[in-house]
Amino acid sequence: MDNNKESKFRAIIIGAKGLSLGISIIVAILLGIGSGILMQKIFNVFWVLWIGVFWGVAAAILNVYKAYRAELRDFEKIANDPKYKRDF
């Protein structure tokens, strides 16, 4: 019974990780757009908005890269675990 509960919690945690990545991408892009709009209003120049959009997209890409590196570390731990090694 405990194993069944543990597998349910594991599925919830994995789902939350994916959801948090999606939310962080949206938030990064929205913050970039917001900062671009703010800079546009301060400097009264239209193209400054695109700098903010670029910052937001760059931050979103950085979030995806960090999530990729974290998953890669997890997979490397699993690959080095003797429980999963097979001798041929």
Residues of the chain with pLDDT under 50: 1
Task: Specify the pLDDT at position 88.
Answer: 62
Calpha distance 55→40 (Å, rounded): 14
Pick from 26, 23, 53: nearest CA to 38: 53
For the chain, how far is it from start to end, CA to CA, in angstroms?
A: 34
And the tokens for 58?
């760059």
Domain segments of the chain: what residues? Answer: 2-84
Contact assessment for residue 48 and residue 36, using Cβ atoms and an 8 Å cutoff: yes
